[in-house]
Amino acid sequence: MRKNDFDNEEKRGKGVDMIEHKIQAIPIIASDDDTIEQVNIPEVLPILALRSSVLFPGGVTPITVGREKSIALIRSVHSGDGILGAVLQKDVAVENPTPDQLYRIGTVARILKVLEMPNGNLTVILSGLEKIEVGEYISTEPFFKAQVNTILDTTPDKNNAEFVALVDTIKETAYRIINLSTTLPKEAIFAIKNLESLRQTVNFICSNLELVDEDKQMLLEAPGLMARARKLLEILIREQQLLELRDKIQEKVKQDLDKQQRDYYLQQQIRTIQEELGDDTSGDIDKLREAAKGKNWKKEVAELFDKEVSKLERLNPAIAEYSIQLSYLNLMLELPWEDVTKDNLDLNCARKQLDNDHYGLEEVKERILEHLAVIKLKGDLKSPILCLYGPPGVGKTSLGKSVATALGRKFGRIALGGLHDEAEIRGHRRTYIGAMPGRVIETIKRCGSSNPVIILDEVDKMTVSNHGDPSSALLEVLDPEQNTTFHDNYLDMEYDLSKVLFIATANDISAINPALRDRMELINISGYILEDKVQIATNHLIAKQSEAHGLKEGDMVLTPEILEKIISEYTRESGVRSLDKNIAKIARYRAKNIAFEESFNATLTAEDVQTILGKPKFLNDKYEVKDMVGVVTGLAWTAVGGDILYIESLLTPGKGKLSLTGNLGDVMKESATIAHEWVMAHHAELGIDPAMFEKHDLNIHVPEGAVPKDGPSAGITLITSIVSTYTGRKVTERIAMTGETTLRGRVTAIGGVKEKVLAAKRAGITTIIVPEDNRKDVEEIKAEYVKGITFHYVRTNEEVLELALQK
């Protein structure tokens, strides 16, 4: 109950931002049930949202109105019949509540008086009539209107001995609370005694009790006056016990205090309260120390923990630093420190696990098995820092989970794509509000061991911002010589990461910080050839999608020939992600056949595939240049693997102008200029009339103009196209090439050899020209990948032209 409720003083509103705040004045209660106004309640009422006030039937309460919607409602209702519904909003902080944010039970009220305030607000005196249940809202503008149902509180008979005794007990308890309270005036006792109606007595005490709005709403919603009285008595007894306990605590504190302890009065009182409530902070301290006994950590960590616990003991639990310190200590307890899982050193079992989960990827598997072999022989080894790079969809990320399973270790993943704050790696200092440990420490805590396998996904996609460079923060994490003493700003002490097996993944290693790249062991995972994809689909993808779509074995049969058709005509990728999506689409179609009980052939045909997936999407990557002049097949690297491209040259009458089209980048334009200059410089050896350079314009075009193209590796392809155009010599059939050229006519090395070779094989190329410096890259490709392809290794442009152009 509130003292101001009996002071009869208005509490001024705080402007438009503070509205519907209940004025702290005593509600006027009718002295008898018969005096409560009887009105016909309309089926549709304007609904006034009360921010912090619950109006009970029979109560007369002033409120301050400041919201525009509420002011419009009051003015409209006041000019009419003066009847409205008053409903409490669930969250006092919401400025413009929606119907869902209002309680369903409220009170129908009549406006007795409206007073204009100087600040533009209205003070409205409302008289509560009956309890209502709000049904469907039929409008929200300019204010709420809703259908309502009147709920009549069932009032026990005046001769009901139980109810009379219950109300008498409520009154006696209220008297004791008023006498114990230091904020309530003793005159409140007389106000209660003057109430003759049992109903009004209950509602009066409900209105004036100091309760949170949720409790008042619960009292209003009570089914009948008897239930409301019982709940009210429970609350009154609780309030009485709290006041008695407070007096007891204050008396105890006064006895313990002396002159020197007066400065610590408040802190001592809080501690005593916590003792009485059973929430003494010493319990937290004891739990922390008990948990620390079972931790497997170094002596210096244990000493730091004890020191930090002692600091926690000296802190006041009411201040923010207490919760920060407690969170820090809980982190220390949750970290695994010296706890590690035992590695599975059964090499055959590990190899089987890796082979079952992923097809191919032999280099990665061998590196993992080598690591296990050394651990088996030596008993200990610093974990390597591996970086798997290659096009999307080849299984780089999923490989990490397979490695963890094969090793018998816990698995964690840290997504680095788009990361721009180094604090995400190293953590925030505890002095900052909302400080947290970095992602590395958080992942180790989540794994529960100090030797998990952690995937650093998309390490090439971190960005630099004004918050620092996260790739630089990773230098300490990924350096085997430094990560034994990794320092997290939040943990503020060293943590040993040397037992963690970090596996980074990337699509483009050139985008990785050079210093970071130097610390990792790079393993290239290039694209799969068609035969590999058929095996992956047969052994993994079909079973996976059948299970995901509820298909039984035999419901969807894809033969190798059909799989080849899907791969070659409906996907263009180095991995199998698009292939997986297409198989999923077929599985959905087959699930629909089964669900509709349609007849179907379990083994799909080419016609079935075209019906389900549509017309073939990719047909232009097949070799389609034969006996043509000036059109040469080049090889390109893309983010999704390799591809072939055609370079076309054409002479037109003119003055020797060079035109380049096809959305070419600066580097490729420079390569075209170099190629043209080299051809003009060597026109005699090439048998070209120099007058042609002055009388003709040369147009060079690379098809698919909407696709940006750049890079130096088309140098020898450009030269071959230009020479073919000027001399009229046809290009050798089914030949492709890649290599950078110089003004001196030297052919230099390029990148992405494996992806380019796989693209050439898919397109039906039989002869490939590559720089001599890339011979080692070709020899690293599996023999089955290059079966049927003849490689020519060249050092000069002349060698290229000798091989590429017909006599």
Asked if residue 390 lies in contact with residue 527, where contact means CB atoms within 8 angstroms, the answer is: yes
Cβ atoms within 10 A of the Cβ of 597, count? 6
Asked if residue 436 lies in contact with residue 427, where contact means CB atoms within 8 angstroms, the answer is: yes
Q: Which residue is listed with tokens 């009419």? A: 80
- Could you tell me how far CA 299 lies from the centroid of its own chain? 38
Asked if residue 274 lies in contact with residue 317, where contact means CB atoms within 8 angstroms, the answer is: yes
Asked if residue 491 lies in contact with residue 437, where contact means CB atoms within 8 angstroms, the answer is: yes
Q: Is the pTM of this model over 0.95?
A: no
Asked if residue 637 lies in contact with residue 509, where contact means CB atoms within 8 angstroms, the answer is: no
The phi and psi torsions of 751 (rounded to 5 degrees) equal -110, 175
Asked if residue 429 lies in contact with residue 488, where contact means CB atoms within 8 angstroms, the answer is: no
Q: Give the tokens for residue 346.
A: 């059964």
Please state whether beta strands 486-488 and 493-495 pair in parallel, antiparallel, or not at all (unpaired).
antiparallel
| Cα atoms in the 13 Å half-sphere on the side-chain side of 226 | 11
Q: Give the tokens for residue 740.
A: 């950078």
Q: Which residue is listed with tokens 């009996």? A: 6
- Give 208's contacts (C-beta < 8 A, 6+ positions apart): 1, 2, 5, 26, 27, 188
DSSP character string of 679-717: HHHTHHHHT--THHHHHEEEEEE-S-TTS-B--STTHHH
At 618 the three-state DSSP class reads coil
Rounded CA gap, 807 and 802, in Å? 9
Element (H, E) at 425: helix 423-426
Measured over the CA atoms of residue 271, residue 277, residue 282 and residue 288, the dihedral's sign is: negative
Cβ atoms within 10 A of the Cβ of 35, count? 11
Residues making up the chain, counted from first to last: 807
Asked if residue 107 lies in contact with residue 132, where contact means CB atoms within 8 angstroms, the answer is: yes
Asked if residue 78 lies in contact with residue 111, where contact means CB atoms within 8 angstroms, the answer is: yes
Rounded CA gap, 255 and 276, in Å? 16
Q: Give the tokens for residue 699.
A: 């147009």
What sections of 37-151 are H helices per DSSP?
68-78
At 734 the three-state DSSP class reads coil
Rounded CA gap, 149 and 131, in Å? 9
Please state whether beta strands 767-771 and 790-794 pair in parallel, antiparallel, or not at all (unpaired).
parallel
Q: Give the tokens for residue 736.
A: 């492709």
Identify the bridge partners of residue 137 per DSSP, sorted by sequence position: 146
- Could you tell me how far CA 387 lies from the centroid of its own chain? 24
Q: Report CA Rg, the chain.
A: 41
* pLDDT score of 632: 94
Distances (CA, A) of 486 to 303, 426, 482, 706: 19, 9, 7, 48
Rounded CA gap, 778 and 794, in Å? 13
- What is the residue type of 770? V
Exposure string for 750-777, b = 16+ CB within 10 A, e = fewer = bebbbbbbbbbbbbebebbbbbbbbeeb
Q: Give the tokens for residue 713.
A: 């590796």
Q: Give the tokens for residue 96.
A: 């413009």
Asked if residue 456 lies in contact with residue 502, where contact means CB atoms within 8 angstroms, the answer is: yes
Asked if residue 327 lies in contact with residue 345, where contact means CB atoms within 8 angstroms, the answer is: no
* pLDDT score of 622: 60
Closest residue by Cα to residue 357 from 406, 408, 415, 413? 406
Asked if residue 188 lies in contact with residue 223, where contact means CB atoms within 8 angstroms, the answer is: no
Q: What is the mean pLDDT of each run of 10 residues along the chain (807 residues)?
A: 37 35 39 54 90 84 88 89 90 88 91 89 89 90 90 80 87 85 78 81 80 84 87 87 85 65 59 61 78 88 89 78 87 90 84 83 81 78 79 82 86 89 87 86 92 90 82 84 87 88 88 88 79 87 92 91 89 85 94 91 91 82 73 84 87 92 92 94 92 92 85 94 94 93 94 86 90 92 86 95 90
DSSP character string of 322-375: HHHHHHHHHHHHHS-TT--PPP---HHHHHHHHHHH-SS-HHHHHHHHHHHHHH
Q: Give the tokens for residue 659.
A: 């035109």
Identify the bridge partners of residue 107 per DSSP, sorted by sequence position: 86, 131
Q: Which residue is listed with tokens 């702290």? A: 24
| Cα atoms in the 13 Å half-sphere on the side-chain side of 66 | 19
Closest residue by Cα to residue 637 from 517, 754, 471? 754
Rounded CA gap, 752 and 694, in Å? 38
The long-range contacts involving 727-731, CB below 8 angstroms and separated by at least 24 positions, are 727/686, 727/687, 727/688, 727/805, 728/629, 729/629, 729/805, 729/806, 729/807, 730/627, 730/628, 730/629, 730/805, 730/806, 731/625, 731/628, 731/629, 731/631, 731/632, 731/633, 731/804, 731/805, 731/806
Asked if residue 532 lies in contact with residue 394, where contact means CB atoms within 8 angstroms, the answer is: no
Distances (CA, A) of 336 to 294, 407, 451, 497: 11, 18, 9, 11
Please state whether beta strands 501-506 and 453-457 pair in parallel, antiparallel, or not at all (unpaired).
parallel
At 465 the three-state DSSP class reads strand
Closest residue by Cα to residue 266 from 278, 249, 281, 282? 249
Identify the bridge partners of residue 631 per DSSP, sorted by sequence position: 648
Element (H, E) at 568: helix 560-570
Closest residue by Cα to residue 714 from 681, 763, 747? 747
DSSP character string of 718-771: HHHHHHHHHH-PPBPTTEEE--EE-TT-BEE--S-HHHHHHHHHHTT--EEEEE
Please report how the helices 161-180 and 198-208 are oriented relative to each other, as an axis angle in degrees rounded to 10.
30
**Residues assigned a catalytic role:** 713, 756
Rounded CA gap, 658 and 693, in Å? 10
Closest residue by Cα to residue 576 from 358, 353, 415? 358
Which 3-state string (H, E, C) describes 137-197? EEECCCCEEEEEEEECCCCCCCCCHHHHHHHHHHHHHHHHHHHHCCCCCCHHHHHHHCCCC
Rounded CA gap, 453 and 441, in Å? 13
Largest CA distance in the chain: 127
Asked if residue 532 lies in contact with residue 484, where contact means CB atoms within 8 angstroms, the answer is: no
